[in-house]
Structure 1
Amino acid sequence: MTGTINTVRMRAAQETDVPAINDIYNEAVADQVATCDLSNVPVDERRDWLARQRHPYGVWVAVDSAGVEGWVGLFPYDSKPCFHRTATFATYVRRSARGKGVGRQLRAWMIDRAREHGFHTIVNRVWATNDASIALAKRFGFVEVGRMRELVDVDGTYVDCVFFQLVLEAGEDDDDWGVG
């Protein structure tokens, strides 16, 4: 890790955060190591995307005195009913805040929200070339459960995708699912 640890405050994303969320995401698009979007996402699409996020899922931002430094989203893994306690997620950090602990704080926050909301497991896929994301997954106890060779096509270069899973303790709040 380089630089100093950046302590941020976590909170639910708001509509006013959309420009910053979108800028951070589009930095990742330009970097071509973390997202399968190969061109920038327009801010209006991001605004609609945020409006569609509903409990028990959500989007949270990491904020410091400079503003939004990163965000994490917890999303449905699949729309089929049998996957209702499985979620996937995405974490993105502003370039200038990378390597300063923001991603780690976002990941910890997201795992806590997943537990609180009663998820049994969370999964994600990471480009095999994204060393920082792979290290972060392992740091939090995610286990590599698979690899698909040459799944991602970036300008004619093929990259493997690594699949990770973290099995969580059963959540306390079964009311999130209408159970109990």
Structure 2
Amino acid sequence: MIKIKTSTRRATPQDGERISAIYNQGIKGRMATFETRLRTPKEQESWLEENQQRPAVVSIIDETIVGFAYAGEYRSRPCYKGVGEFSIYIDGKYRKLGIGKELLLSLIEEAEKLGYWKLVSRIFDFNDASRNLCKSCGFREVGIYQKHGKLDGSWIDCVIVEKLITENLD
């Protein structure tokens, strides 16, 4: 694996243009989301503005955002306030360079600072890269949602992953 100098930082609304471009690659690639509607930079800027209290990070190479990770609200009930449902997207030109691991570890750190005690996600069962990434960062697979949703007319099973942030458990 080639090692490239990267940095991570908290995402800001000004990152909306690059984040929408990367997310739209993910939508078109059909490997990581059931979403089919492409996002505009303005939509991503607004989402980031409205969710500044949530963990969201970007990875940067030579002043260019090459990936992002965020944790949205898991459920609206107060008992789940410290649980975040996360996603990671990497620009196709920068995959398989270790950026996903850097982003996920940075997201965990950001979630810990914000008081989260757990991160969860659902991964398409055939997305081995994401499953391996999560395992390498201490996530465990806890089950499978069978036929969780249809994408392009086909049923997809999703693997459920979770990681406890033990520093925030009382």
Fold shared, TM-score > 0.5 on shorter chain: yes
Contact 1:128/1:162 (8 A) holds in 2: yes
Classify the secondary structure of the residue corresponding to 1:170: helix
* Counterpart in the other structure of 1:125: 122
**120-129 or 7-16: which moved more?**
7-16
Contact 1:7/1:64 (8 A) holds in 2: yes
Q: 1:156 aligns with which of 153, 156, 162?
A: 153
Contact 2:55/2:114 (8 A) holds in 1: no
C-alpha distance in structure 1 between counterparts of 2:154 and 2:65, whole Å = 32
Shift in Å, 1:116: 2.1
* Counterpart in the other structure of 2:135: 138
- 1:92-147 alpha-carbon deviations (Å, 9 max, x no partner): 10000000011110001011112222221111111111111101111111111111
* Alignment of 1:42 onto 2:52: no
Determine what percentage of the aligned residue pairs are the same residue.
Answer: 27
* Counterpart in the other structure of 1:178: none
Contact 1:116/1:171 (8 A) holds in 2: no
* Counterpart in the other structure of 1:33: 31
Give the aligned CA root-mean-square deviation in angstroms. 1.7
C-alpha distance in structure 2 between counterparts of 1:64 and 1:75, whole Å = 25
C-alpha distance in structure 1 between counterparts of 2:61 and 2:131, whole Å = 25
Contact 2:13/2:44 (8 A) holds in 1: no
Which structure has the larger Rg over C-alpha atoms? 1
Change (3 A) 1:21 1:150: same
Unaligned ranges ≥5, structure 2: none
Number of aligned residues: 170
Classify the secondary structure of the residue corresponding to 1:144: strand
* Alignment of 1:81 onto 2:78: yes
C-alpha distance in structure 2 between counterparts of 1:5 and 1:39, whole Å = 34
**10-19 or 78-87: which moved more?**
10-19
Shift in Å, 1:7: 2.8
C-alpha distance in structure 1 between counterparts of 2:118 and 2:14, whole Å = 31
- 1:44-79 alpha-carbon deviations (Å, 9 max, x no partner): 221211111132x13211111150010111222111
The alignment's TM-score, normalised by the length of structure 2, stands at 0.93
**99-108 or 42-51: which moved more?**
42-51
Unaligned ranges ≥5, structure 1: 175-180
